[in-house]
Amino acid sequence: MDDIRTVIEAKPMADFVETPYVKELTYRAMTYIEAGFPVHLRGASGTGKTTLAMHIASRIGRPIVMLHGDSEYKTSDLVGGEYGFHSRKVVDRFQSRVLKVEEDFAKRWVDNRLTVACKYGFTLIYDEFTRSRPEANNVLLSVLQEKVLDIGNAPAGEESYLKVHPLFTALFTSNPEEYAGVHKAADALRDRMVTIDLDFFDFETEVAIVVAKSQLPRHDAEEIVGIVRALRESGRCEFAPTVRACIMIARTLTVQRTKGVHFPNFFVTICQDVLTSETSRLGSRANQEEVRQIVKKLAERTRIHHEESRGVSPSRHNAESLQKNLTLIRQQVGR
């Protein structure tokens, strides 16, 4: 059972946020799965595809096997293949004057993650599956439809086909096809799954996520989310900012508040830094400057900026609370 080392335990995420919007998405996905269909979560970067897939997998309750799409993948990278050799040596000293030695070498077969999930009935999360070439993913066609895995060059003495475990479940995520490095999914594969298109979260969900990830007070999180959503709706960005930008700003603000050092316009500056990098990929200075000016106007209207400008510092009680929040953030990022 060496295969089990590739498995993730299915358990609820401690800081996962469940709002009515998220609950409705989860319910739809679970209903499709219970009806026997794999689920495909498709959406832009930052719409929570992977996190939602992990949440759905934890609700299923089976161990999780994760795959991340890669253009270099071949079918064997999903199914398995012969890697290295297994050697065996027998030394026979049954008679003192006779030494008999037998040695043999055999190629060693190793199951890769798709085979592990199919064999033991685990939940497969194939993250960004369209970053793999369509020909590498063709092996999934029989898995999803006929519930049979074609192993191909199976090891000697083994069947070339594996019957998929009845508890096997598949979840897929992908970015839109216009993203760099994304291949067009084969029509036959896409036809075998139910696709749920994800948009940006609603306001309440984004605020709840920011509070959970940064430990910032709700009224501060609402102002940060408001800035990001206003910039997103302005239509002046190459790429719309996501909830990740909200989390970056909020966490940075939490850390800065624990230091007890105040710089003028610090909040405005971090909003500009994060949102300019988040919304620009081509590096156009004219576009970046336009975004910086929009963000400056939005941030300067906030209560956070006005309190910062007046030099308002947190009370001792709030400072102690902020220090606890900083400890929680460090635990989340593994420091």
Is 100 within a domain?
Answer: no
In the listed set 152, 175, 198, which residue is the last one of a domain according to the structure?
198
In the listed set 157, 180, 198, which residue is the last one of a domain according to the structure?
198
How many angstroms separate the first and last alpha carbons of the chain? 32
Does residue 125 contact residue 114 with C-beta atoms inside 8 Å? no
**Do 18 and 34 belong to one domain?**
yes
Is 137 within a domain?
Answer: yes
**Do 309 and 254 belong to one domain?**
yes
* pLDDT tens-digit series, residues 277-314: 888 766 677 788 899 999 999 999 999 999 888 876 55
* pLDDT tens-digit series, residues 151-197: 876 666 667 889 999 999 999 999 988 788 899 999 999 999 999 99
pTM: 0.81
Domain with 50 in it: 2-79+112-198
Total domain count for the chain?
2
**Do 165 and 243 belong to one domain?**
no
Task: Give the confidence band of 245 by pLDDT, cuts at 50, 70, 90.
Answer: very high
In CATH, what number is assigned to the domain containing residue 6?
Answer: 3.40.50.300
In the listed set 154, 169, 198, which residue is the last one of a domain according to the structure?
198
**Do 138 and 226 belong to one domain?**
no
Say how many CA atoms lie within 13 Å of 322 toward its Cβ.
Answer: 18
Is 316 within a domain?
Answer: yes
**Do 42 and 181 belong to one domain?**
yes
Is 231 within a domain?
Answer: yes
Better pLDDT: 321 or 309: 309
Please give the sequence-ordered ranges of beta strands (E in DSSP) within the chain, or none if there are none.
7-8, 39-43, 64-68, 80-92, 100-111, 123-127, 148-150, 161-163, 169-174, 194-198
Count of residues making up the chain:
335
Dihedral class, residue 266 (left if φ above 0, else alpha if ψ from -120 to 50, else beta):
alpha
Please give the distance of CA 84 from its chain centroid, rounded to a whole number.
Answer: 32
